[in-house]
Structure 1
């Protein structure tokens, strides 16, 4: 199943304009809000109409990327989605830098999954137009210098856009098979595991947000995230898969140590006309138990992120040694 996942990672290199660029510490929210607005302007056929009322929503790029809702319960492990996983996510620098001098470079990554890869040229056009419109405090402009498609190990790049030139749609498409390390050549100690939560991990357990990083809760979020991407964006029916045995094994892996804290990020939602808090746990947790069977899932989850609001670069995890 994991080998069916397809994704493409794009590295965007931006250069601050003559006025510089001023961003909040949590940059992902600003970029997501900015490019969502521009994306709709470029792609939407009826920009002033709500997607739920639009007769063209089923064939609209904006509707697919941002507004698609599940039509019915999927059944099986996934159950009912309030909102289906979006076929993209952003990864931005996690440093606290807020001001970029004129000419200073900022790099961010966009990852597209499954059918979402087809819309890469529209994302490039959106980021270019967003640079012209301006972003951050005072809506100051930036230049989109270039965009490169990256391989899994970042050992190769394929340029898809250079400033002033034409963009191409010839990405490096990777699969879950490219991510999964040979278990025999990977870390041989499968009794102890450390997971780093590099950006806030926002997850629910029994209907409530939790700050308790028990392994089985983590793994349930991994399962839900990956099977959701496969079901909705790869056309793979995962509803009949039985994960009960795997979940029972996950419950046997014990949390033995942790250093985590709850971190809240604020963002303003123009669509809801309200300020929202998007919080989750950051830090690390150590586990003991036989986790060898879970390694491929965790390796893929490093790229998909897990939990809620992954489009904002939340839920970025990393396997430690």
Structure 2
């Protein structure tokens, strides 16, 4: 856990060891021509959700709580039940225990037989459901992606920075696996740069913040709030608590400068709402300056957690650089 360098620094109750999480890399083969849209996170999330729901032990009727919510993989991974009366969450949905990181590089058209891949971050209780998560991805890819339902095959799953797959296609079961600890967070000395890899959607007064509205407090409180909610969902009464009043005061003393920030606009069709939804966000980089030492672990964790709205489909992903900080690979 981080301790402040002086009495004026916030003591943040944040440790990368508080809650296990892991990034997995999935290698896939397109068995038919496949069109990957400009941002494929929504397409992958929808396919995963439908496949995981099909494998759930009980049917899920709209508006009815699952009788097995504490054990159901669909509830524990994809549809976390709300914590009643939680002070940080005014809405019905809690942060989910996964993040899909789609392939970057914009729109792609893949030919049959071509390999491609994406990443998946599993958090807390979701890690215990890894076998059924892999089974769900097998099913989702086999059923097909996109409007054309282009069939694909899951070939292998690798843990981050591990050359040997923990699972590969074939009759052999997944190898025993436990997530390795995240690499330690290096101290931040005075400045750090966040390179926004996927669109950042931070909400301010009910609207998505533009480049002129983006500030250090908005960014850091959103990230701290996301981490706190995940801790509370997965650890319950044992979850460490952050001091948000002091955290906000410290964040107010920092400066945030955007570099080549641009708005990336994209849309997806919502079957539930039966309409096209626009989900734009900011791309580019932002530099934080000031007393950053208390925020080192929080910003480090954010490279796996993502930040802002629609994080489950990979929005708000970034890498962190500073003179003494190595960014997490994706």
Q: Normalization by structure 1: what TM-score?
A: 0.87
Partner residue, 1:180? 184
Q: Given the alignment of the two structures, is residue 198 of structure 1 paired with residue 208 of structure 2, yes or no?
A: no
Question: SS of the residue aligned with 2:297?
Answer: helix
Question: SS of the residue aligned with 2:82?
Answer: coil
How many residues are treated as equivalent by the alignment?
A: 306
Q: Deviations over 1:88-108 (max 9, x none)?
A: 011121112421112111111
User: Following the alignment from structure 2 to structure 1, what is the Cα–Cα distance between the partners of residues 180 and 63?
Assistant: 31
Q: Given the alignment of the two structures, is residue 60 of structure 1 paired with residue 61 of structure 2, yes or no?
A: no
Partner residue, 2:245? 244
Question: SS of the residue aligned with 2:112?
Answer: coil
Change in Cα spacing, 1:46 to 1:254, as seen in structure 2 (3 Å) is same
Partner residue, 1:133? 143
Superposed CA RMSD: 2.2
User: Following the alignment from structure 2 to structure 1, what is the Cα–Cα distance between the partners of residues 258 and 226?
Assistant: 25
Partner residue, 1:165? 171
- Of stretches 105-114 and 226-235 in structure 1, the one that deviates more from structure 2 is 226-235
8 Å CA contact 2:158–2:164 kept in 1: the answer is yes
8 Å CA contact 2:167–2:175 kept in 1: the answer is no
Q: Given the alignment of the two structures, is residue 7 of structure 1 paired with residue 21 of structure 2, yes or no?
A: yes
Unaligned runs of 5+ in 1: none
Counterparts of 1:229-268 in structure 2, within 5 Å, are: 229-235=230-236, 237-238=238-239, 240-268=241-269
8 Å CA contact 1:262–1:279 kept in 2: the answer is yes
User: Following the alignment from structure 2 to structure 1, what is the Cα–Cα distance between the partners of residues 46 and 224?
Assistant: 28
8 Å CA contact 2:263–2:280 kept in 1: the answer is yes
User: Following the alignment from structure 1 to structure 2, what is the Cα–Cα distance between the partners of residues 29 and 166?
Assistant: 31
Question: SS of the residue aligned with 1:39?
Answer: helix
Question: SS of the residue aligned with 1:110?
Answer: strand
User: Following the alignment from structure 2 to structure 1, what is the Cα–Cα distance between the partners of residues 241 and 105?
Assistant: 42
Partner residue, 1:28? 41
Change in Cα spacing, 1:203 to 1:255, as seen in structure 2 (3 Å) is same
- Of stretches 233-242 and 112-121 in structure 1, the one that deviates more from structure 2 is 233-242
Q: Deviations over 1:111-159 (max 9, x none)?
A: 1101111111111111111222111241111111111222xxx1x2452
User: Following the alignment from structure 2 to structure 1, what is the Cα–Cα distance between the partners of residues 317 and 258?
Assistant: 20
Change in Cα spacing, 1:21 to 1:97, as seen in structure 2 (3 Å) is same
Question: SS of the residue aligned with 2:268?
Answer: strand
Partner residue, 1:94? 104
User: Following the alignment from structure 1 to structure 2, what is the Cα–Cα distance between the partners of residues 295 and 118?
Assistant: 28
CA shift for structure 1 position 40? 1.0
CA shift for structure 1 position 29? 1.1
8 Å CA contact 1:201–1:314 kept in 2: the answer is yes
Query: Which residue of 85, 90, 94 maps to 1:73?
Result: 85
User: Following the alignment from structure 2 to structure 1, what is the Cα–Cα distance between the partners of residues 207 and 40?
Assistant: 27
Partner residue, 2:51? 38
Change in Cα spacing, 1:53 to 1:234, as seen in structure 2 (3 Å) is closer
Unaligned runs of 5+ in 2: 1-13, 323-330
